[in-house]
């Protein structure tokens, strides 16, 4: 039996997903930015409008990580893509191939759905994540700068 299993998350996983969201925020030193609640996670992942999906990694039957993703679209490719919002493996389970299996699970989904690419962002200081991703052949898109318009800025834009 394989020690690592990757499976689709179900509504029963909401407390786990929420816990892992808080853990990644803590790891990234961004806990103060988390306003998510279990209720909001349930609604946005499993409600009427499903905005994202999650695959869960289990190691010897214990849930230890997740990849949270959603579709985007490339006009240049005229194909859907996958945007990986979070890939997280609990620190005590790192180095066992779990992150690699999560990425492979995501690549399998991307192939099945005829996606042209998978994209994500990495914090510049997170050298271990950068090394991990580059070990699979991913490349930084240094010529692009990520911009964000947050919800508190929407009204400002709408008044212009």
Q: How many residues does the chain have?
A: 160
Helix (H, G, I), strand (E, B) or coil at 98: helix
Instruction: Find the catalytic residue in 51, 59, 133, 147.
Output: 133
Tell me whether residue 133 is one of the annotated catalytic residues: yes
CB-CB contact of 27 with 91 (8 Å): yes
Tokens representing 56 are: 């869960």
Tokens representing 151 are: 């919800």
* DSSP secondary structure letters along 11-34: GGGHHHHHHHHHHHHHHTT-GGG-
Residues assigned a catalytic role:
133
């Amino acid at each position: 039996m394989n020690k690592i299993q990757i499976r689709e998350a179900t509504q029963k996983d909401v407390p786990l997903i929420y816990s892992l969201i808080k853990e990644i925020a803590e790891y990234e030193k961004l806990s103060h930015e988390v306003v998510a609640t279990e209720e909001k996670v349930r609604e946005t992942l499993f409600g009427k409008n499903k905005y994202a999906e999650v695959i869960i990694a289990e190691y010897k039957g214990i849930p230890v990580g997740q990849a949270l993703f959603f579709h985007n679209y490339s006009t240049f490719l005229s194909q859907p893509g996958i945007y990986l919002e979070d890939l997280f493996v609990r620190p005590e389970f790192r180095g066992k191939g779990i992150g690699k299996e999560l990425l492979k699970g995501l690549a399998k989904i991307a192939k099945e759905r005829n996606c042209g690419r998978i994209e994500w962002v990495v914090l510049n200081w997170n050298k271990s994540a950068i090394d991990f991703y580059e070990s699979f052949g991913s490349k930084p898109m240094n010529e692009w700068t990520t911009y964000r318009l947050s919800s508190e800025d929407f009204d400002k834009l709408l008044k212009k």
